[in-house]
Amino acid sequence: MQPSFVLQVFLIFLILCNSLNSRFHFILHATCLNDEGYTLLTFKQSITQDPDGSLTNWNYSDETPCSWNGIACKDQKVVSVSIPQKKLQGFISPVLGSLSELRHINLRSNKFMGVLPFELFNAQKLQSLVLYGNSLSGSVPNYINRLVYLQTLDLYSNMFNGSLPISLIQCRRLRSLDLSQNNFSGSVPDGFGSSLGFLEKLDFSYNMFTGSIPKDLGNLSNLQGTVDLSHNMFSGSIPSSLGNLPEKVYIDLTYNNLTGPIPQNGPLVNRGPTAFIGNAGLCVPPLKNLCNPNDASDASSLSSFPFLPTNNPSSEVEAGRKGLSKGAVVAIIASDVIGICLIGLILSYCYSRLCLCGKKKHGYDKGGSKRRNECLCFKKDESETLSEHIEQYDLMALDAQLGFDLDELLKASAFVLGKSGIGIVYKVVLEDGVTFAVRRLGEGGSQRFKEFQTEVEAIGKLKHQNIVTLRAYYWSVDEKLLIYDFVPNRNLGTAIHGKSGVPSFVPLSWTTRLRIIRGTAKGLAYLHEFSPKKYVHGDLKPSNILLGLNMEPQISDFGLSRLANIAGSGTPVLQSNRVVSDVATTTTATSASASHAPVSYYQAPEAFKVVKPSQKWDVYSFGVILLEMITGRPPVVQVGSEEMDLVHWIQLCIDEKKPLSDVLDPGLAQDVDKEEEIIAVLKIAIGCTQSNPERRPSMRHVVDILDRLSQD
């Protein structure tokens, strides 16, 4: 037998064996994996990129997919597909709709593209559909009414467009509906508020919705938190029925085309003017715009205003006067005479007291002793400054639990923490070991005690875990003190950049930075939205974000510039016989490299043109701080021989398409697994530092986004 023939036979044998082996594996696979497993593998084929290998254990070797990453089962049936934040890229395959027991889909924060397939809604037991943070587009299919058990629909931050399907109102079990940051347009379907009575969360912000706000939204009695309709194109008047919503609900209507009066009922009452900005046609409190009395667009709202009579008396009044009796005329004349006499007596008394005051102003009493002038004189200068000359010689507590008095404070050991043009800050340790931070505003200046007292007591009412608490104050002509809780763990500037002259420095981990970012955002959101007067900080920077024992942030120096101005403080002289001057002191500058950076780098561009501060100033400052925490760089960056602020430097890096590693703080090198979160926060920072204040998000919206990062 020739060798070539033997070789051919051998090759044919190998081919047959390989074919049989393939068929054997196919049969084996077909007998092992169930139908739902094959369905999920078909879904896997629609994913073009899986850089983290999240779906590597999705294969044919298992009997069911219940042990696969992101899959949960009940009674061997798939009930949940949850693969968030895995950088998956591809399309959402319609085969998911064939999973008969599927109840939860969570594909948030990936890179899915394309449309939402209508076949997906064949999974009629679906309870939650979470797709936010992708690049999905197109409209929401009208077949959504098949999902009669749907409770959560979250499409936030995609590119969906078109109008809302009218069939959405048939999803009567919906509790959370978030469609924000898309391109939805058209009007909200009729019957929206009447049909979706279980809704607890509603967010339509940053879309292009038009038409009027549905009047039946007031029927959504289970709503909580914020009802966000901001940054749309809603027009017409604000329905007074919105006042039927729970009073704790915050209604955000900013930046629409709303007109007419603002109803003064329910949660619409006592909202600051910032709650309605961006609607030039709105009028009445809290806005300065006055309503046109001829505008009858909302008679129910106008009815609460007093009637203003005309200058011409009515015919009824004239007829009444003609019918007066002689007795009534005599009574009227007598009362007029008595009234004139009383007015004359009062004027005579006041004139005599005024003259007496003038005579005694610089004189002595009959006993020859000089005494304080106590007469009540109607003189402008003295009446307005009477309260401003009051001396305060005791410690005024703003907290009922304050357990010390002025003597104890003056006897305590004090260490200088820092000083600036506004005053010196001391660490004060009482005899019992309790520690406070005391800011001395200096001496001299105009003495406006009542104004100072009002301002400081308002600040003392602010209670939030991310805002330093003001506990007490002291006022006298020569001394003004503010007593705060002591926050022990330095400030954010030192934590980011280290302290000048101290070689040992451990960079903050990303987890710690994110905790600080989230806490700072919550503190600002409290000032902006939930404090009694919807405050603006106006001077936010890393040096006044203090860090507690567990690195929890607390915003300090709120209202300080205003108090210093009232107190007339100049740069105080460092002197106190109670201070241990040679104990370690700290600077409030952010770092050696950033200590000379002007505050203007944290201020919004419009702050140099507009006198009155706005909440969007704080948003910009917060954005700069985020960039500082992500990059590890000071607010001014050296680029060659020139200096550039951090905001423009980041934009330059984006334009030049530099890799993320060139931007990140080298101290974050160990947090490579947190890249997705870092990019998300970087996007927030870029949004906060937009040059146009109207394009910056609210701090409440920033808090919502940051809270999502901690969710699975």
Tell me the per-residue pLDDT of 114-125, one tens digit each, with 9 for 90 and over: 999 999 999 999
Task: Say yes or no: 289 and 401 in one domain.
Answer: no
Q: Which residues are catalytic?
A: 539
- How many structural domains are present in the chain? 2
> Would strands 257-261 and 235-236 be described as parallel, antiparallel, or unpaired?
parallel
Q: What percent of the chain has pLDDT over 70?
A: 71
> Would strands 281-283 and 257-261 be described as parallel, antiparallel, or unpaired?
parallel
Domain-located, residue 229:
yes
With 60 as the cut, is the pLDDT of residue 30 above it?
no
Q: How far apart are CA 681 and CA 677, in angstroms?
A: 6
What's the whole-number mean pLDDT along residues 392-413? 70
Task: Say yes or no: 263 and 136 in one domain.
Answer: yes
Domain-located, residue 331:
no
Last residue of a domain, one of 244, 270, 301: 301
Q: How far apart are CA 532 and CA 183, in angstroms?
A: 35
353-357, 428-432, 678-682: range with highest mean pLDDT? 678-682
Q: CATH number for the domain including 543?
A: 1.10.510.10
CA 399 from chain center: how many Å? 27
Residue that wins the pLDDT comparison between 211 and 17? 211
Query: Which of 299, 301, 297, 300 shows the shortest CA–CA distance to 285?
Result: 301
> Would strands 111-114 and 135-138 be described as parallel, antiparallel, or unpaired?
parallel
Last residue of a domain, one of 250, 270, 301: 301
Task: Say yes or no: 472 and 594 in one domain.
Answer: yes
Residue that wins the pLDDT comparison between 631 and 405? 631
Domain-located, residue 321:
no
Asked if residues 263 and 243 have their Cβ atoms less than 8 Å apart, the reply is yes
Domain-located, residue 309:
no
What are the φ/ψ torsions at residue 519 (nearest 5 degrees)? -65, -40
Task: Say yes or no: 293 and 422 in one domain.
Answer: no
**Mean pLDDT of all residues in the chain?**
76
Please tell me what DSSP assigns to residue 611: S
Angle at which helices 646-655 and 615-631 pack, to 10 degrees?
A: 60
Residue that wins the pLDDT comparison between 447 and 432? 432
Q: Which domain holds residue 55?
A: 18-301
Q: Which amino acid is at 226?
A: T
Domain-located, residue 42:
yes
Task: Say yes or no: 284 and 400 in one domain.
Answer: no
pLDDT in tens, 280-338: 888 765 555 666 654 434 333 333 323 223 333 333 333 343 444 555 555 666 666 56
Task: Say yes or no: 68 and 200 in one domain.
Answer: yes
* 332 to 335, 467, 584: CA distances (angstroms): 5, 63, 82
Query: Which of 693, 688, 677, 686 shows the shortest CA–CA distance to 622?
Result: 688
With 90 as the cut, is the pLDDT of residue 404 above it?
no
Domain-located, residue 131:
yes
410 burial via Cβ count (<10 Å: 0-12, 13-18, 19+): middle
What's the whole-number mean pLDDT along residues 547-559? 88
Task: Say yes or no: 519 and 629 in one domain.
Answer: yes
Q: CATH number for the domain including 124?
A: 3.80.10.10
Task: Say yes or no: 281 and 415 in one domain.
Answer: no
Q: How far apart are CA 55 and CA 57, in angstroms?
A: 6
Residue that wins the pLDDT comparison between 671 and 21? 671
With 70 as the cut, is the pLDDT of residue 129 above it?
yes
Task: Say yes or no: 512 and 646 in one domain.
Answer: yes
With 80 as the cut, is the pLDDT of residue 189 above it?
yes
Q: Which helix (H) or strand (E) holds 104?
A: strand 104-106
Domain-located, residue 158:
yes
Residue that wins the pLDDT comparison between 535 and 291? 535
> Would strands 435-440 and 413-419 be described as parallel, antiparallel, or unpaired?
unpaired
- Coil, strand, or helix at residue 361? coil
What's the whole-number mean pLDDT along residues 546-573? 75
Q: Tell me what pLDDT residue 11 has.
A: 56
Last residue of a domain, one of 301, 316, 347: 301
State both tokens at 120. Answer: 């997906």
Q: How far apart are CA 200 and CA 142, in angstroms?
A: 23
Task: Say yes or no: 545 and 435 in one domain.
Answer: yes
Domain-located, residue 340:
no
Q: How far apart are CA 92 and CA 136, in angstroms?
A: 9
In angstroms, what is the C-alpha Rg of the chain?
A: 35
- Find the Cα–Cα–Cα–Cα dihedral 337, 338, 341, 342, rounded to 10°: -150
